[in-house]
Structure 1
Amino acid sequence: MVSKKIIIISVFFILLFSCKKETKPKNIEDDSSIRQQLYRLENVGWKSKIHSEAIEGINFSATEVPVQYYLLKDQGNQDLFLIDSLYQENKTERIVEFVFTQEEEEDLLKEKFTSLSYEDGVKYLSFSIDKDFYVVTSKNDTIPCSGVNYERNFKIAPFQKIMLFFSGIDPEEEIQLIYNDKLFRKGTIKFQFKDTYTEILL
């Protein structure tokens, strides 16, 4: 009787471990595939090349940043299936990092650059500048900016940075960013994003 129980228990454990062995490689393979796609984002950053235009002492720089980069920064890398799922839901979003720099490293929100008070310059970057940007896709669709996040540096860094958000763009589409500069009155500036993402240091 005892030997029968031992045999039954042994068979049960063999079946249990064999089932685990069958499912484990599949999960590892899926996780590895996602991890491989996100490896560069997590370790060195993965952005498009910086596109810059210098006009009358002011440098305007635009860099496209993939959605996955911010998902990893926000969610961490503990659940890569969640990161991939969130990316699939948001893959038609585009994020562009836009930086204004004065060649002598002066604060560009001074009245002599904007013709506005410092406070009004901050308000413009925070609430109104989104209307000055739009994207044209390779299919000639015009996409307005859907939002801006102004990263205030409180006069510590010699630049002003905003994050631009655009929605409803096929991830395979090439884009051109158009900026109608009303803050510094430098006219219309175009930034063509033709190249694929390139590793750069953050």
Structure 2
Amino acid sequence: MKQANKQLNKFTILFLVLLCFFSCKKEVEKKPLVDDGSIRYQLFQLEKFGWKSKVHSQKVDDINFTATEVPIQYYLLKDQGNEDLFNIDSLYQENKTERVLEFTFEQEDEDDLLKDKFTSLSYEEGVKYMSFSLDKDFYVVTSKNDTIQCSGVSYERNFKVAPFQKVLLFFSGIDPKEKIQLIYNDKLFKKGTLKFQFKDTYTEILL
């Protein structure tokens, strides 16, 4: 009798294990497969465009000023990698009102623009201005006529290796569908006020 009860208990346990297994299997089968294809395609579209908007350039005397918008997805991928695109998408949704503009200064003969003959400052003071004061010279006007001040500048020092000076300009609180105009009041090289109209946006391929 005891042997029979043991056998019954074994069958009962086995039955419960199998029942649990098949229940879990059904749950897995019911759960839709997660597909990041649409996100991957949208990122591919941005990459196809070279990750940047059209280049907007103006030349005043012997200096070329160039402004380019860079989608923030580029920096998210650069920082986070592309293993978890859903995380990239989530981070983008949290930060989609941020704008990053790349701005370069280049002298036509590839001379170093931070020399005192261009800025009337010492080289060290020119570097400090690029690093800590340049943000006050930039702002953005949206298509709704809102004025957005530059929230920060990242100066990419090239230590005289490249023939240009480059900064990244950061702006916050801008609808991703908004077209913008960048205004630069040049106090460093004293070339006046320059305007760069960004007519293209990434609204069709935003995440």
Is TM (by shorter chain) over 0.5?
yes
Q: d(CA) in 1 for partners of 2:13 and 2:151?
A: 67
CA displacement, residues 26-56 of structure 1 (integer Å, 9 cap, x when unaligned): xx23x22322222344677421111000111
Give 2:183's aligned amino acid.
Answer: I
Equivalent position of 2:97 in the other structure: 92
Question: Please, what TM-score do these two structures have when normalized by structure 2?
Answer: 0.86
Give 1:164's aligned amino acid.
Answer: L
SS in 2 for 1:148: strand
Q: d(CA) in 2 for partners of 1:44 and 1:196?
A: 12
* One of 135, 140, 148 as aligned partner of 1:143: 148
Q: d(CA) in 1 for partners of 2:200 and 2:129?
A: 31
**Structure 2: which 5+ residue stretches go unaligned?**
1-7, 203-207
* One of 101, 105, 119 as aligned partner of 1:114: 119
CA displacement, residues 115-174 of structure 1 (integer Å, 9 cap, x when unaligned): 111111100000001110000000001111010000000001001000000111111100
Give the percent of matched residue pairs that are identical in Structure 1 and Structure 2.
69
Contact 2:177 2:201 in 1 (8 A): no
Once the two structures are TM-superposed, the CA of residue 15 in structure 1 deviates from its matched residue by 2.6
* One of 8, 14, 27 as aligned partner of 1:19: 27
Q: Is residue 157 of structure 1 aligned with residue 162 of structure 2?
A: yes
CA-based RMSD: 1.9
SS in 2 for 1:116: coil
Q: d(CA) in 2 for partners of 1:43 and 1:137?
A: 26
SS in 2 for 1:107: coil
Q: Which has the higher contact order (CA 8 A, sep 6+)?
A: 1
**Structure 1: which 5+ residue stretches go unaligned?**
198-202
SS in 2 for 1:60: strand
Once the two structures are TM-superposed, the CA of residue 10 in structure 1 deviates from its matched residue by 4.2
Number of residue-to-residue matches in the alignment = 194
Question: Please, what TM-score do these two structures have when normalized by structure 1?
Answer: 0.88
Once the two structures are TM-superposed, the CA of residue 24 in structure 1 deviates from its matched residue by 4.1
Contact 2:143 2:179 in 1 (8 A): yes
If you compute each CA radius of gyration, which structure gives the higher value, 1 or 2? Answer: 2
